[in-house]
Structure formats: C-alpha cells, structure tokens
Amino acid sequence: MARSTKADKARQLNAAYAMLQRDIPLSEAMQHLSREFDLSERQAYRYLEEATHLDRPVEVCEITVPITLKLPAGTASLLRAYARRSGLTIGAIVTHALAAFLSTQRRHG
C-alpha cells in the first residue's frame, strides 16, 4: 500500500471532522472512513481522534514537486536568514514570492 501524501491526510482528516460535526456515531464514522479511504479501522479512529481537536477543517495543500534553483550566494544567504527568522521554509518563501511575481506578470503581459 502506498503512503498517504499530505493532501491525502488533510482530506481524510477533513472527512473525519465533517462526520464529527454531523454527530455521526464514532463506530459508524470509523467504518465509513475505513471504507472510503481504504484505511484500517485503527487508522480511521486516529483520524477521528485528531479531528476532535480541530476548530475548523484543515487546508488541503497542493502537491509539491522538487526543483533545483541556482541563486547568487548573497541571495541564498539572505533567503536562509529570512527563513530562520520567520520560521517559514525556504520552499514556502520561494512559493509565495514566485506566486506574487507571476500574478503581476499575468496582469501586464
């Protein structure tokens, strides 16, 4: 069996959360999650347990792919320092920066 991606886990957790919000009995919710997502009943129960601590559904993130970038040493140093200060990953910073840049390009070109 293949491992679940972060997006898979978020969808499963959100399904568990939705069932809890609808007051579906735990045993019924566990069986439904198990069938719908091809999980063991034990794993389905873990998702339900985790969902009890949520205030709202979790964000389902887009699947990521690795890429290699070559940056000037000074830029890479600034990027690493910013990542340490902000608590964000380099990937998150680059993703946000590129999304902002590309959105301006669509408007102008």
pLDDT tens, residue by residue, 41-91: 999 999 999 999 999 999 888 878 899 999 999 999 999 999 999 999 999
- pTM over cut 0.75: no
- Percent over 90 (pLDDT), the chain: 79
Compute the average pLDDT of residues 12-16.
96
Could you tell me where the DSSP H helices lie in 22-86?
A: 26-37, 41-51, 73-86
Whole-number Cα distances in Å, 56 to 16, 27, 76, 77? 11, 22, 36, 37
Mean pLDDT (the chain, rounded): 92
Secondary structure class of 49 (helix, strand, coil): helix
Identify the pLDDT of residue 109: 53
